[in-house]
Structure 1
């Protein structure tokens, strides 16, 4: 999922940098991430979910290796704390496979709405597992987050399917991976964490593909879309790095919620997916909930 890099890149910004510039860069980053998600959904029309997870992961890994080799910094891809890096990678690998499966079955806007429960799940899990204390506003945000998803999905009026379950479980895995980052050492590089994730995801998605649907034949168009998706993924990470270096994390992080706008836009343009008022209302409630949790 695109928001995976948020905690990794939250370095202290330089005092001379502008939060306004950082916000604009973050909006662009999440637009790029959403474009990659839309292409993944496009691939899912013809290919099984585990297969396009495998393909885009390999493309991302090859690009990252080429980038590190060109800079003469291949050693930076090796984690100094492999236990933590691998544990986090396993959680995020499962998260990616499940959310890609959700993209196959759900409109992008619905998948995003469920993914936007991440801030409230992190708040709840931090309270339950780490003993963190939440303010009254944060607890209000937790409640509003679930209200927002209920409003958007209207479980009594719209049929729920396995895609909704996959999206929710992926969000739980992602939230747990964020808790692991609380134990990450400052000396661990972002490149090492991303490289470990891609290395772990490659065999994980391969085994999942072979044991479930198998591998399907790919044509030139499929390969082209997969390569573009991998490029967009790395471009999104680079933009997000720039945003977190330029501005305060508390300013940049909430712009993840702009993905609901991009999801609706890409869904309408590429898949003729309608946007109903319940989706908009639920999105607004979830945005409010995330803002309260961040308070």
Structure 2
């Protein structure tokens, strides 16, 4: 039997977080118009989440897709929080439609939008991420990114090979907007939410205009925010590591005492310093474990920020461009 392709929904929202990148987003919209098939293009409704930019746009392209709106925020909240606010705003609307999340700089290629949508049809109910099969960054960046992925897997037990570029089905939008963890890190929040998700391998593009606002500090903070979303799993793994260190230290001290008192093996004079060092390791492991327990307990008892409930506190106005 011939496989039928599901029809496109009447609207697909495109959430684009932005901070001062108006020239790049203008080129991005023009690129979307140039490469997107007309049937799909006519369904797209663009929502730029302006993260309290210091400058405003001069002109923006018109007549691309169904509409173009700008969600103005009262203050700068950062890239991940801007995405959460955009999703929460759309989840608050009476009618629910699928949402594509993409960056404003062009590194999320417009050519790949159909692939995300098609994968969403193949995996109904799944959040579909763009897995970066090929990256355009420098060797140093790719090296640190590989270290980040390895550390993330070691600390959380999860594999993360994707960023923000994604397709959210309409059925999952309101659920996603009620997940507090997307406030800190959008992809990490989806992982933590246990909502079904999948990924499609896509190439990362190049920035269309301007320079990236991300520096080394920003990248480190972004990585830490992803790990913090899974703080409970991370804490358990760190506590287990501390337990292993304590067991190894106790075993080493016991071995040294055994060699000293029950064998004729000559013990060097620095053995006492070694025993003291192992005792310090045991004390530090205990204190770290205790600190992690208090952090997790504090995390569980403090009220969580739910984007769907509190997004209005950050939204200044919705500006219709067309």
TM-score, length of structure 2 as denominator length: 0.25
The structure with more helix, counted as a fraction of residues: 1
Larger radius of gyration: 2
The structure with more strand, counted as a fraction of residues: 2
Relative contact order, higher structure (CA 8 A, sep 6+): 1
